[in-house]
Structures are given as structure tokens and as C-alpha cells.
Amino acid sequence: MTLILVRHAQSEANAAGVFTGSMDVSLTDLGRRQAAALAGRLAGLTVTAVYASTLRRAQDTARPTAERFGLQVQAVEALRESGLGEAEGLAWADVRARWTLGEGARWADAIPGAEPGDGVRARVSSGLDELLARHRDDVALCVSHAGAITHALQHVLGLTLEQGVRVPLHHAALNVIEWTDRGPVLLSLNDSCHLEAIEP
């Protein structure tokens, strides 16, 4: 199986610089162009399944690719972004001012009501395992969110929650994993070259 993990395109909340989490927000004009560019980038492949989280920004990012291949976007609750509790809707500067992180701590540890990291990891890992079992010989696109994709990459690559994946994930960038007889192989990480012509 080849799994293409993609962070949703730019949302209105991303452009405004606020924590989004489980909030349901729309794409910006740039985000819609990013989604179209993603579909163009994947046109040379044979994508056989398209999944996205239940949030609108992920669904709208996945839709142009699904339409190109004559597929439906299948919503997967497990691919939703981490819930960020009281931080949702706040600017990054406000979040940093209100909550401080101790040595080795994560946002979920500091923010009241945030979804615990191990809970997100379990949810994403379980959903991903179901998709892998269903699509052993397929090329599947999964559009999700930065936090959820980080947990997915950790799970697939056998990393612990503490080890993490310290890569900022670009909107509509490709993270491609191929399963071989020897296990999963990371073919690309945060590949955004298809976006160069449309981004300032």
C-alpha cells in the first residue's frame, strides 16, 4: 500500500493565526488553490481511495483530488485534529501568554480541556490501522491535520510520543509512506514543490 498523508490546505483560522483544533472552518482562496494544486500533483498516480477528517477544511482539500479520480471523499472521525480545549479560537500570542510549558511538556498538558496526546495517538493509530487493513494494494490519500499527521507518522515509523516528529507540516504538502515486505518506508516528508507557483 501507498499512503499519502496530507495536511489540509490553508484555512481562514490559519490565515488569522489562531489555534483551531476541533473548530470547523473554511479554506481561504489560497487554500482552495492549494487543494487544486494537490489534485494536479497527484494526477499521475492511480489514487484508489480518498479519505479526510470530518472537518470541513480537510474535506474541501480532499475533494478536488477525489473528483479527478471519480471517487467520493470518505469521512473518518479518527483523522480529526486534536481538541485544543480553551485555546481554540485564540491567537498564538494569547495562548503563549496564558499557558506556559514546562520542560518536555506538551500543549495538551498545559491547556484546560485539551485532548491528551496519548488519546490522540490511540485514536489516530487505530483509524490508520483500519485503513491499512482495508487497502493493502491501493494508493490512498488521507487528508488530515498537523497534530493528527504527526501522531500518524510516529505510529507508522515506530516512534514514541516523546520522540515525536519535529517537522512543521506545510498546508497541502505530501507525506508519502509505502509498505514493502520489509515494512513501511517514508518516501517523502513535507513535499510542497507543487505549491511553489501559487504561494507568495
pLDDT value of position 159? 81
Q: What is the pLDDT of residues 25-36, one digit of tens each?
A: 999 999 999 999
Q: Is 8 a catalytic residue?
A: yes
Residue bearing cell 487554500: 31
Q: Which domains does the chain have, with CATH numbers?
A: 2-195 (3.40.50.1240)
What are the residue ranges in the chain where pLDDT is below 70?
101-107, 161, 163-165
Phi-psi group of 168: left, alpha or beta (phi > 0 → left; psi -120 to 50 → alpha; rest → beta): beta
Q: Is 135 a catalytic residue?
A: no
Contact 194, 38 (CB under 8 A): yes
pLDDT value of position 26? 97
Q: State the catalytic residue, choosing from 12, 77, 81, 196.
A: 81
- State the pTM of this model: 0.93
Q: Return the C-alpha cell found at 102.
A: 514546562
State whether the Cα torsion 65-69-75-79 is positive or negative. negative
Contact 147, 10 (CB under 8 A): no
**Could you write out the DSSP letters of every residue in 100-133?**
---TT--HHHHSTTBPPHHHHHHHHHHHHHHHHH
Q: State the catalytic residue, choosing from 8, 145, 151, 171.
A: 8
Compute the distance between CA of residue 72 and CA of residue 89 in angstroms, rounded to an integer.
Answer: 30
Q: In what order do the strands lie in the sheet with 139-144?
A: 73-75, 49-52, 139-144, 2-7, 174-180, 183-191
Distances (CA, A) of 113 to 14, 22, 84: 21, 12, 7
